[in-house]
Amino acid sequence: MRWHGGFSVRRMSSSADRVRQASALRLTLDRHAHAYYVLDTPTVPDTEYDRLFRELEALERGHPDLVTSDSPTQRVGAAPLAAFGTVQHRTPMLSLNNAFEDDEVVAFDRRVREALGMIVPAKEAPDTNAPMDAPMAQVAYAVEPKFDGLAISLTYVDGVLAVGATRGDGETGEDVTANLRTVRAIPLRIDSGLSLLEVRGEVLMRKQDFARLNAEQRARGEREFVNPRNAAAGSLRQLDPKMTAARNLWFFAYGVAPSEGTTLPASQHSALMDWLASLHFPVAPERARVTGVEGLLGYYRQIGAQRASLPYDIDGVVYKVDELGEQERIGFVSRAPRFALAHKFAAEEALTELVGIDIQVGRTGALTPVARLNPVFVGGVTVTNATLHNEDEVRRKDVRVGDTVIVRRAGDVIPEVVGVVVERRPEHTVEFTLPPACPVCGSAVLRPEGEAISRCSGGLFCPAQCKQALLHFASRRAMDIEGLGEKLVDQLVDAGLVHTPADLYRLSVEQLSALDRMADKSAQNLVEAIAASRKPALSRLVFALGIRNVGETTARDLARHYRNLPALMAAGVESFQQLSDVGPVVAASLAGFFAEPHNREVIAALLAAGVEPAPLPAIEPATPGADRVAGRTFVLTGTLSGLTRDEARALIEAAGGKVAGSVSKKTQYVVAGEDAGSKLDKARALGVEVIDEVALLALLKPASIA
């Protein structure tokens, strides 16, 4: 007789004896693994566990019919996968609404109590008093840390782990069963007494394991992971389960998904967590049950104080109404439960050295100073860049290259430099100055008066703005090039076929049909649409140029006033301001745009490619309604019954009127259709005359027949 960890096994040769022997070994190994991985109280030395494991391996190797999916030997060794399958969640894996301030938690508790009928809802409370709380009207909550990991679902059929899936989009996740079997904290078999049980929780990597993994990555000369969460997510998505097994992932259960026909053994969430613990699932040892807002906020502060000493990363705490029946009464809103809330921790901060300031040019030409930092771990990630927002912010904070700076990051918010440790400033630092030319294209940098953002003036030329400029140029109200959408623009720019709008007019059917998802017919249609745009109204071309602060209405005013493109381009600030609705800001935008040589080069290329803008027709005195519409400003709101907005605009403009987008004291008429909104309210407040579609058509008739 031999002894194995507290049980005895005789040398047996029959099939039944081998089954019993394998079962006994599995039970013993599971018990030791639970004590080691979950309870952190090993019951046998590692050498003894390894010896028992090898004995089970030998038994299963000699008798393959003994191998079961829940055997400890099956945690490692599955064949690599070609790709992950998908799993449709029986009930959606929802997100939680977030709170960052104590007041938001107070509001959450009030909403819960209102939903449960404990207090009078604020909107129904008597006018003379605040909403009245019933005596001792407090809710019991289950509370626990909010793990910074990857949400997963574990489905057990007849007590055996059958499917493990990621959250995915909440409705459908990735099938990562083979990889989850390698996570030793996850039981492969449970004695729940239920035919179907779906446990939900978080896979994560503990801090010590993350440090060990990165040390190994460094030793091999391989890329290090930026934080434990990313390491855990990447490890769980390895196509080879052996790679996942080597990463030493961890798991905490945080809930049970409801299953039709399944009766759970508890009516409180906290009791369910105790039950899961009895089934050998790891659950947060820091979980608790509290009552009322004071209990919630007290727990938040308690866990916040422990955060740095916890063996794993957390980014807040989670509150859930404890009674499952009350959860059901409260229900859900959108994609989140109304009975639960994630209370996130405040932004984390760290000190590091600022080694440089780069200038990032956005899609609209905005120049943003970006701090280059010595890498620093803050808010759960390693940060190497942080926003400085704009030139004024850099000056206000007096940020200089070489400074020791305070970097803040909260959740998924872009890291920012929030201050400087001036006493650590080295000698001879230089104040930051925004460059006068765009670092991408060399065009002049302009900052309109009263604005905080400086911008590259080379909107038609700058590669950083190229895609945005092309999409605007081709849009329906501009050059109206049908078929030139975002995906195609991406391909054209990425392939180097188009750099400016002028390049569109040199595209061939052969070039276009060689792109992804572009058949010959589609390519031919696009070439024809581009060709058809060569004869636009001058106002459309002016709008298509994408001049900042110049919308459709201003573009029409400019086209009517200057009549042709050379005259418009030759005008200056003073000339522009002679137009009634062109102020200093718009005038400066126009002058700056046309003064930039790169923009003038692109306009010249457009004209050379055959783009010939036509001036808007002059208003003849005989135009219907011109004597009562010309020179007056209209605003359209709501849905007209007999005209589209574009048709109404065209009729008004043909009669010499102007259509504005907003109501002001300069507005003469607001044309209101069905479902008119805030513009109608503003018109009434300002005393602007409101007319309907019938009255508009009457105005547009010649005076002699009106």
Span 430-466, pLDDT tens digits = 999 999 999 999 999 998 777 889 999 999 999 999 9
CA distance 463 to 338: 46
Q: What confidence score (pLDDT) does residue 82 get?
A: 59
pLDDT per position as a tens digit, 660-674: 888 888 899 999 988
> Pseudo-torsion of CA 349, 352, 354, 360, nearest 10°?
-40
- Angstrom distances, CA of residue 662 to CA of 554, 648, 670: 13, 16, 10
Percent of the chain clearing pLDDT 90 (strictly above) = 50
Q: pLDDT band at 261, cuts 50/70/90?
A: confident
Residues identified as active-site: 146
Q: What confidence score (pLDDT) does residue 3 get?
A: 39
pLDDT (mean) for 222-247: 82
pLDDT (mean) for 228-237: 84
Fold of 142-344: D-amino Acid Aminotransferase; Chain A, domain 1 (3.30.470)
Architecture of the structural domain at 351-424: Beta Barrel (2.40)
Fold of 626-705: Rossmann fold (3.40.50)
CATH number, span 2-75: 1.10.287.610
Map residue 209 onto helix, strand or coil. Answer: helix
pLDDT (mean) for 267-273: 96
283, 276 contact by CB (below 8 A): yes
- Angstrom distances, CA of residue 395 to CA of 369, 436, 439: 11, 16, 20
The answer to whether 142-344 and 626-705 have equal CATH topology is no
Task: Tell me yes or no: is domain 457-616 CATH 1.10.150.20.
Answer: yes
* Nearest Cα residue to 467 out of 503, 438, 492, 431: 492
By the 10 Å C-beta count (0-12 exposed, 13-18 middle, 19+ buried), 623 is classed as middle
Q: pLDDT band at 5, cuts 50/70/90?
A: very low
Asked if residue 132 has pLDDT above 70, the reply is no
* Nearest Cα residue to 289 out of 276, 301, 298: 298
- Angstrom distances, CA of residue 285 to CA of 168, 277, 288, 310, 322: 27, 10, 9, 11, 17
pLDDT per position as a tens digit, 55-96: 888 888 888 888 887 788 776 544 545 568 888 888 888 888
What b/e readout covers 302-334, taking b as 16+ CB neighbours within 10 angstroms?
Answer: ebeeeeeebebbbbbbbbbbbbbebbeebeeee
Asked if residue 153 has pLDDT above 60, the reply is yes
Q: What confidence score (pLDDT) does residue 151 get?
A: 92
Asked if residue 352 has pLDDT above 70, the reply is yes
Map residue 58 onto helix, strand or coil. Answer: helix
Helix intervals (H) in 63-101:
none
Indicate the domain borders of the chain: 2-75, 142-344, 351-424, 457-616, 626-705
Q: What confidence score (pLDDT) does residue 9 get?
A: 43
pLDDT (mean) for 551-556: 87
Bigger pLDDT: 37 vs 267: 267
